[in-house]
Amino acid sequence: MRNGTGISRRGFLKQAAAVVALPNIVRGSVLGLNGATAPSNKIVFGAIGVGGQGTGNMNRFLRDPEAQMVAVCDVDKAHSDRALDLVNKFHKDEGCVAYKDFRELLARDDIDAVTVCPPDHWHAVISVAAAKAGKDIYCEKPLANTVAEGRAVAEAVKRYNVVLQTGSHERSRSSARFGCELVRNGRIGKLHTIRVNLPKDSYGPEGLHPAMPVPDGFDYDFWLGPCPREAYTKVRCHFYFRYILDYSGGEMTDRGAHVMDFAHLAMGLDDSGPVEVWGKGEFPREGLFNTATAYHFEFNYANGVHLIGTSNEPRGIKFEGTDGWVFIHIHGGRLEADPPSLLDEVIGPDEIRLGRSPGHHRDFLNAVKSRGTPMAPAEVGHRTATICHLANIAMLTGRKLKWDPVTEQVTNDEAANRMCWRPMRSPWRV
């Protein structure tokens, strides 16, 4: 680990030994006195993928006194240069290093944890590599771009005993957790229906988007990574990638991942999934973008709960029981309920309590320090991403699919089952 003045953990230990041996006077910040964090207790970070969301996550850790940002990485030099400047200005030094290749960053033995915030098609490759390198991971949602990739991440995290927090930050909202506690403790009676609202999606610039020269400083082939080679055009990359199925899953895996996440939390099924899936979506007929613009999908769960997702506003999730309902708004966590008195309920000490988070990023730091479980660990992130992928697969095929949440296989449709994974362009693997 490394402190704000560039002292490595090894250097700190040497300095501490010198303090014991000689009656020198050492700054309190070096020893962790006067409220400062000792260098040996700082969590040293590298930020991989520093576009819009990546820079936002980097800044959250950059400003935490128990974290130290020492490296940034992006295949777009404009992104990495901007992030490097932000870090160095914050620390008032030139100690941060910029990389284009995440593997070089992961090879550093002084880095404890990484943020993984590139486009979705990179999440699994980088997260598995980070786990193998012994780094704790804050990975943006969705955890992975396919069901198989998500399982690979969850298994790598388990095998290499690292901490992973999926960036499903809505899960850390106290109000949303209270809403799920109302469901778990039977305050709405027996849960029978869950309704997911996702507004109709709107894409970026329309048209066919012809090929154009790759900008200087942008390694486009590296950006494509495990995906097929395609001619460069500006709106294929960065923000608009989320509307192209090779790289993401549209609204379903974007904000939809936040909404769907609460379905499993409220049912106590964070390690499971539905048993039947079907749906029908509206998809563009031409152009670059090909994710669904409108949605209708339905899940059946083994516990008898029926989930229905439709193109409606406001964005959120409604739990309907025999005695009432509760609605969680995404984003913000505002609750509505019927009867309204449900929101005045108190969850007793002997009832199911889902705990509270000090904030999603702070929760990750606490888990790294304690080696405990964060609010959205790898298995949770994987299972949430899985139902988002299943909804997309059902809408793309238009067929009713039987899903085994134990084997994670579509059991009645081999073509649909093959959509749970994708081949990767060499040399990339998970």
The better pLDDT of the pair 105, 15 is held by 105
Least confident of 206-210, 297-301, 402-406: 206-210
Which position has the token pair 């020893």?
31
392-402: per-residue pLDDT in tens?
999 999 999 99
**Per-residue pLDDT at 40:** 60
- How far apart CA 426 and CA 428 sit, in angstroms, is 5
**Per-residue pLDDT at 207:** 73
Question: Which CATH superfamily is 173-206+229-346+378-418 part of?
Answer: Dihydrodipicolinate Reductase; domain 2 (3.30.360.10)
Question: Model confidence at 241, in pLDDT bands (50, 70, 90)?
Answer: very high
This prediction has a pTM of 0.90
Who contacts 350 (Cβ-Cβ below 8 Å, separation ≥6)? none
What are the DSSP calls for 105-160, one per residue?
HHT-TT--EEEE-S-GGGHHHHHHHHHHTT-EEEEPSSS-SSHHHHHHHHHHHHHT
- How far apart CA 294 and CA 198 sit, in angstroms, is 8
Say what percent of the chain tops pLDDT 70: 90
Q: HSE-up of 300 (CA within 13 Å, CB side)?
A: 10
Answer yes or no: is pLDDT of 6 > 60. Answer: no
Who contacts 349 (Cβ-Cβ below 8 Å, separation ≥6)? none
- How far apart CA 179 and CA 134 sit, in angstroms, is 36
337-393: per-residue pLDDT in tens?
999 999 999 999 999 999 999 999 999 999 999 999 999 999 999 999 999 999 999
Query: What are the residue ranges spanned by the domains of the chain?
Result: 9-169, 173-206+229-346+378-418
Question: Model confidence at 273, in pLDDT bands (50, 70, 90)?
Answer: very high
Q: Which of 197, 387, 194 is nearest to 307 (CA)?
A: 194
Sign of the dihedral defined by the CA atoms of residues 172, 178, 184, 189, in that order: negative
Answer yes or no: is pLDDT of 183 > 80. Answer: yes
Answer yes or no: is pLDDT of 14 > 80. Answer: no
Q: For the purposes of burial, counting CB atoms within 10 Å of the CB of 72, is it exposed (0-12), middle (13-18) or buried (19 or more)?
A: buried
Question: Model confidence at 204, in pLDDT bands (50, 70, 90)?
Answer: low
In the three-class reduction of DSSP (H, G, I as helix; E, B as strand; rest coil), residue 70 is classed as: strand
What's the token pair of residue 246? Answer: 């090779």
Who contacts 99 (Cβ-Cβ below 8 Å, separation ≥6)? 71, 72, 73, 80, 105
Phi, psi of 417 (to 5 degrees): -60, -35
Asked whether the beta carbons of 78 and 217 are under 8 A apart, the reply is yes
What's the token pair of residue 330? Answer: 């995404």
Asked whether the beta carbons of 361 and 64 are under 8 A apart, the reply is yes
Who contacts 202 (Cβ-Cβ below 8 Å, separation ≥6)? 293
Say what percent of the chain tops pLDDT 90: 86
Same fold yes or no, 9-169 and 173-206+229-346+378-418: no
Q: Which of 383, 373, 331 is nearest to 144 (CA)?
A: 383
CATH of region 9-169, choose from 3.30.360.10, 3.40.50.2300, 3.40.50.720, 3.20.20.80: 3.40.50.720
